[in-house]
A and B are shown apart, each in its own frame.
Chain A
Amino acid sequence: MKKTFTKFALAGLMASTMIGGAAAEETIKVGVLHSLSGTMAISETTLKDAMLMLIEEQNKKGGLLGKKLEAVVVDPASDWPLFAEKARELIEVNEVDAVFGAWTSVSRKSVLPVFEELNSLLFYPVQYEGEESQRNVFYTGAAPNQQAIPAVDYLMNEEGVERWVLAGTDYVYPRTTNKILEAYLKSKGVAEEDIMINYTPFGHSDWQTIVSDIKAFGSAGKKTAVVSTINGDANVPFYKELGNAGIKAEDIPVVAFSVGEEELAGLDTAPLVGHLAAWNYFQSADTDINAEFIEAWHAFIGDEERVTNDPMEAHFIGFNMWVKAVEKAGTTDADAVIDAIVGVSVPNLTGGYSAMMPNHHITKPVLIGEIQEDGQFETVWETSGLVVGDAWSDYLDGSKDLISDWRAPMSCGNFNTATGKCGGSGS
């Protein structure tokens, strides 16, 4: 029932988009740039629905600046260059005031020049590799120091891990994250031969060799753990192979940065119990605001079984920040919002407040969760306070001197503290 209503609403939306200015009431348009077909549809469709829900709820509260919000949904079809085209279409043709979207780093990189050129706003909700800060982009997902580093700290201190397997899919996010982690581990005194780095292609399904390598690597008399930046889909066969090969979480735990509730939903979780994931939000977070959010989500999507996940929370935070900044600035003009949004603080779903920092990253708590039999995570550890997202990693040679501050007078995404100069323009 609810679903047909949503479809109806969508159809209505599309119709009104086509009529354009003819609509009686003036609206504020919000672009949703998530793949609804192709490889990434598996993850991104949910975020599109989450955005529609947030916009619907805001309209119930009376909209924004006295106007109704209107979602404009486009489908970039998991095709990276198409992301740029669709972003341009959203900004130039549909005249949206802010865009929420993108998932993979390559799609974000593809739309960056468009947002810079047309001076619009992008809210990017997914954990990413850092090493970037752009004036028109707000990074509401985790930077490496908000996910990878605390996870490694947890394994080192609580589980006593001394030997590390860094396994990832072969693209920019795992490669950069692993570079940062390798530098970090070495700075902590881990020897070269105690780190094994391994990359696999997208959608890798034959994990036998790698799992047996991990087993061999783990039998050197030291506690071993796997830090996995393996991308969503390939995780299922990976964990299946681990389970079948009899590698238990008690012996060799795997901590994953790309496995959330959504990914576990397609998986028989019994062999995974005890393996870990690091995020800034788990559906199991025991707070009132989270319970409300889940209830609203289930009502909106019309399915009690659907889960919530970390990027959804990032959109929740990002959207509310944008709303607050627009109210503060009294306009949706991009420059005014960019100035107004720094310092804006909104509740997150884990019971605290997240604030937008001058480097366009946000503050978040870091949670380590263990996979449970029901596909949920149980928080076993969390940072005592909020962690500020760091755009430029302190552990990489090229970036440790860089800082980012988009407030006047610095207004620079990569200020070099060693030379005292803004190294380039923008990103």
Chain B
Amino acid sequence: MSFLKTFLVFLCVAVGLAGPAFAQSDPEALRPLINELAKGKYAETEKQIGALVATGNPAVAPALEALGEGKLFFRKSDGTVFITEKAGKSYLLTDPLTLEAAGEAGKREVKKVKVNNKLRRVIRSALGSLTLMAPDPAVRKSAAEAVFKAQDPASIEALDVALQAETDDGVRTVMEQARAAAVLNSDLDEAEKIKAVDTLSDMGNRDALSLLINLENTSEGVVKEAASLAVAKIEKSIAAWNAAQNIWYGLSLGSVLLLAAIGLAITFGVMGVINMAHGEMVMIGAYTTFVVQELIRTTAPGLFDYSLLIALPLAFLMSGLVGVAIERGVIRWLYGRPLETLLATWGISLILQQAVRSIFGPTNREVGNPDWMSGAFELGQMTITYNRMWIIVFALLVFAGLMLVLKKTPFGLYTRAVTQNRRMAASMGIRTPWIDALTFGLGSGIAGIAGVALSQIDNVSPNLGQGYIIDSFMVVVFGGVGNLWGTLVGAMTLGIVNKFLEPYAGAVLGKIFVLVFIILFIQKRPRGLFALKGRAVEA
């Protein structure tokens, strides 16, 4: 077996050096081997992958890649293997060696070559060793990352050769780390291993930590000491990063709370309407996003990345219109009667939920994440996911926009005038009923665009709004009714407190602690963090 591995490595290296010349030799010779993939169970497929890698021919890479992604199919009639791409009800076939189109096949004519996690791991490391010398640095980097995960001592030689030829510094670092990971698993001498420990210790992330802990548990003597030191060092730096990570998570949770609450800060905070249907406005916004995405999928798939931007104004309009309708139809008859308003809006929320359930069905609807909303990047030892980052940015933009509207536009002026002194405003010629309707519409519309953002991180189901209504009221009351800045500070504070409690108390207890904290806080300061002062409050 180890002979085979050495042989393999030798071949990989040879292929790498010989480059394309070898690759073009005779792809047809590989075909029987590739067709062999479709026969038998996982264990046999694994053996076949080994045989393919043993040819050392990079031409097998596309087939292996497709296998890992579950795109490798075989034709039932003759057992020929193809790379497929789904196109409607049939599959487009591509030859796995020449990569030329090979016609189409119906759903029942072809069958997928089965893969499981174990095979995917095998393929990943096989592809890694096959593509270490690829011309594209990005491919070489991901190859080195795959080799790092495999930690196979047999890859050391291949890495050495690759390192010598490497010109890109970034890729070189990854390769050195991959080599260090492999060295730990090998039977090389202590000096080599200690050098590897140093490399990993500089790497300093969780992957390196995992390897080093393992080494600490299995090794002896000097190596063990070096490993212990490195583990302690990494753990210390990770602990510091953890605090930063918690603050980031807190801001992220806070921004979600802010988005959910900011519309309510207007309808409840500024207008004083206890609006239990606020969550449903968020839900309407999320469903608008769903409808927009569905339309884009069927008519203009190219626009998918812009779907959220297109959905934003539409969600604002939809929720806003529903809000205006609710205000004109129900709430305006109930001003000054908070209990009736509460009951009426709660009834409206049930009606809206059931209406959505009847139209779209009770099941969750799939709202896709555009590319720029998926994935993550590393900042030091912190992982920052793009969707959370954009939501923080978005929440702050919405907040700033709303502030501008209220402070700098005539409409904002009228709104403030009406809420501060209705009769005076009316005698100045402001049509107060319309301002009421429009303000309520604005609050609802903002809830709608919050729905667009929340559709990216939560379920789009008829129950979406229920999950946010309590949190929203909590934020508004905590921050101080009638004060938008209070809502901002309140949301962020609650988010960060929650996230610092969660690792110690667990998600369930953490939430309870936050609630208890708010109850105590409200006892002390009944008007919240930023209480409004002056005559307006007494009015």
Contacts and interface: CB of A to CB of B under 8 A. Distances in A.
Interface of A: 36-37, 39, 41-42, 45-46, 158-159, 170, 198-201, 203-206, 208-210, 212-213, 215-216, 218-222, 233, 236-237, 240-241, 243-246, 249-251, 253, 262-263, 265-268, 271, 273-274, 370, 372-373, 378, 380
A90 to B, nearest CB: 21
Contacts of B507: 198-201, 204, 209-210
Given A42-B363, A215-B206, A245-B376, A209 B249 contact: yes
B363 A233 contact: no
Contact of B245 (A205, A212, A262, A273): A212
Interface string B107-137: 0000010101110110010000000000000
Given A244-B376, A265-B363, 20 more contacts: A36-B362, A41-B362, A42-B362, A170-B508, A200-B508, A208-B249, A208-B388, A209-B502, A212-B245, A221-B215, A244-B387, A244-B388, A246-B375, A250-B121, A250-B124, A251-B149, A253-B117, A268-B366, A268-B369, A372-B70
Interface in B473-507: 499, 502-503, 506-507
Contacts of A237: 457-459
B245 to A, nearest CB: 6
Contacts of A37: 354, 357
A245 B385 contact: yes
Contacts of B70: 273, 372-373
Contact of A219 (B120, B210, B383, B388): B210
29 contacts: A39-B466, A41-B357, A42-B364, A45-B361, A46-B363, A198-B507, A201-B511, A203-B463, A204-B507, A218-B210, A219-B209, A219-B210, A220-B213, A237-B459, A243-B374, A244-B376, A244-B386, A245-B385, A249-B117, A250-B117, A250-B120, A265-B364, A266-B365, A266-B366, A267-B366, A273-B70, A274-B117, A274-B120, A380-B116
B230 interface: no
Given A39-B463, A245-B376, A265 B508 contact: no
Nearest to A215: B206
B467 interface: yes
Interface in B449-472: 457-463, 466-467
A212 B383 contact: yes
Contacts of A240: 369, 387, 457
Contacts of B365: 266
Give the residue among B117, B118, B467, B507 with the most A Cβ atoms within 10 A: B117
B459 A244 contact: no
Given A208-B252, A266-B461, A236 B364 contact: yes
Chain B interface mostly? helix
Contacts of B364: 42, 233, 236, 263, 265-267
A94 to B, nearest CB: 24
A222 B364 CA distance: 36
B73 to A, nearest CB: 13
A244 B385 contact: yes
Contacts of B245: 212
Interface string B380-410: 0001011110000000000000000000000
Contacts of A373: 70
Given A208-B388, A241-B385, A159 B117 contact: yes
A218 B211 CA distance: 11
Give the residue among B213, B362, B502 with the most A Cβ atoms within 10 A: B362
A273 B114 CA distance: 13
B368 interface: yes
Contacts of A222: 214
B503 to A, nearest CB: 6
A378 B387 CA distance: 30
B514 to A, nearest CB: 12
Nearest to A235: B459
B249 A221 contact: no
Contacts of B217: 221
B255 to A, nearest CB: 11
